[in-house]
Amino acid sequence: MTVSASTPPFVSGALPLLGHALEFMRNQDGLLRRGYREHGQVFALRMFRNPVAVLTGPENQKYFFTMTDKTLDMEKPYDFLATIFGKVAFLGSHATYMNQRPVLHVLFGREQMTKYLPEMQVAVQEWLDGLGDSGEMELTDEMNRLVQEVAGRCFLGPEVHARLGAAFWRDYALLGKALDPLLPPRLPLPKFIRRDQAKARIRRALAPIIAERRNGTERRADGFQLLLETAQADGQPLPAEVVDSMIMALMFAGHETTAGQAAWSIIHLLRHPEYRARVQAELAQVFPPGTAYDHVKLRELEATRLAVDETSRLTPSTETLFRAAEEDIVLDGYTIPRGWLVQTSTAVGHALPEVFSDADSFDPLRFSAERREGKHTFANITFGGGLHKCAGMNFANAEMTLVLALLFQQFDLELLTDEIKVERGLGASRPTKTWVRYQRKA
């Protein structure tokens, strides 16, 4: 490939053959922030031999999220995910995606959210009741289990969730462990064999439930029912084999992402007693014990929501998103040649001094009505943007807000782990193991 002189400038420190790959794996934030310091909002990395353009700053991020798949393609970079979950929704071709999009979005419409919120509250309250009066817990794993419980009850429905049991989540974890963007996905490696076996078991478990739901007369209020009933753009319901792929893909998109940020939001509140006092005062006023969770309460929990928003900015679960340039792109004075990978970076984009003041500090009030920092639609890209903006954003925000509200309403907590770092997974980032001591309030 010939690369013209006006391609985005490369960050310093590329190694022969490896390029920046090693540093990207070891210290992604440091590398990307150096790129910004050296070259500004648009620069390039080399992953082994492949050049990657990094687009940061609200306007370049807007470009990333609003270009159609003809210019910036999503399918190729996420192909390794499609091997696991199937070519459904955002992992499928543009035509498949557009056909299935109505089904995807009805799952998170306001009407359906109204049904999810009470179910969410039952799941979170059951978790809190199970903690006992006092003890210690490891937050990251605990949030993982809780988010599974919430997702299971809301999307699969309490009855399907109970019927599938722990085996479903054990198999689902095997799918996650086989995520690998580098190796050919059909290699006969043990992790890929276990992945295929797990997928087959999930399919076998779901098949009779799908058949029962389709043939039965009872209508349930869960997401599963909607997946089965809602017509795609072509007027047809999702075929059975797509329903189970869609469930797996949704769990992937929404599970570790929400768990990681929920854990961080608790950590941030524990580290910031002044802001925690504001949240506690709000809870005492608008969300005392016994309050039912609904859209009105969610709106009233403003200080709690701002803490969730600031967590999304400061410690997002999804830090880099990828596309493939399908044609030459001229942006910010550079040419990004066809064939390059293109990525975003929250490490840079969420820390730009011209957009966010004192960006490395936890300051939820930056998003308050008075300050309205980062009000550009594409300044905070935790949930992406444009056509593929996170379908589950409202669900995730409502869930994280509820977890904070009920936890701090009912427990006093103390952070026991001092040094907490970002642990990067292929699906999402999360905090490293974090221990918390808790005591039920009198």
Q: Taking the complex as a whole, how short is the minimal distance between the CB of residue 366 and ligand HEM, in angstroms?
A: 19
Q: Is 179 in the site for ligand HEM (CB under 6 A)?
A: no
Q: Classify 390 in phi/psi space as left (phi over 0), alpha (psi -120 to 50) or beta.
A: beta
Burial tier of 277 (Cβ tally within 10 Å: 0-12, 13-18, 19+) = exposed
Does residue 169 interact with ligand HEM by CB under 6 A?
no
Decide whether 226 or 250 has the Cβ nearer to ligand HEM.
250
Quote the tokens at residue 36.
């910004």
Taking residues 44 to 83 in sequence order and writing x for each that binds ligand HEM by CB under 6 A, - otherwise, the string is ------------------------------x---------
Give the span between the Cα atoms of 350 and 380, in whole angstroms: 6
Q: By CB under 6 A, name the one of 33, 201, 388, 424 that touches ligand HEM.
A: 388
Q: Which of 44, 174, 390, 436 binds ligand HEM (CB under 6 A)?
A: 390
149 in Cβ contact with 254 (< 8 Å):
no
Contacting residue, 67, 226, 325, 391, with ligand HEM by CB under 6 A = 391
Interface pick for ligand HEM out of 90, 340, 408, 438 (rule CB under 6 A):
90
Nearer Cβ to ligand HEM (47/308): 308
| 345 makes contact with ligand HEM (CB under 6 A) | no
Q: Which of 51, 384, 427, 431 binds ligand HEM (CB under 6 A)?
A: 384
Site for ligand HEM in 243-262 (CB under 6 A): 250, 253-254, 257-258, 261
Angle between helices 240-271 and 158-177 in degrees, nearest 10: 80
* Contact between 104 and ligand HEM per CB under 6 A: yes
User: Does 103 engage in binding with ligand HEM (CB under 6 A)?
Assistant: no
Residues binding ligand HEM: what is the number (CB under 6 A)? 23
Please give the residues from 296 up to 335 whose contact with ligand HEM meets the rule CB under 6 A: 316-318, 321
Give the contacts of 52 (CB within 8 A, at least 6 positions apart). 44, 45, 46, 340, 341, 342, 343
- Return the ∠ at Cα 97 (arms to 92 and 103), rounded to 5°: 125
Shortest Cβ distance from residue 375 to ligand HEM (Å)?
A: 19
Interface with ligand HEM includes 436 (CB under 6 A)? Answer: no
Nearer to ligand HEM, 40 or 77 (CB): 77
Nearer CB in complex with ligand HEM: 34/268: 268
| Least Å from the CB of residue 164 to ligand HEM | 16
Question: Among 362, 383, 408, 438, which residue interacts with ligand HEM (rule: CB under 6 A)?
Answer: 383
Dihedral sign computed on CA atoms, order 128, 132, 133, 136 = negative
**Closest CB 260 distance from ligand HEM, rounded Å:** 7
Least Å from the CB of residue 6 to ligand HEM: 27
Residue ranges that bind ligand HEM, judged by CB under 6 A: 74, 89-90, 104, 250, 253-254, 257-258, 261, 316-318, 321, 382-384, 388, 390-392, 395-396
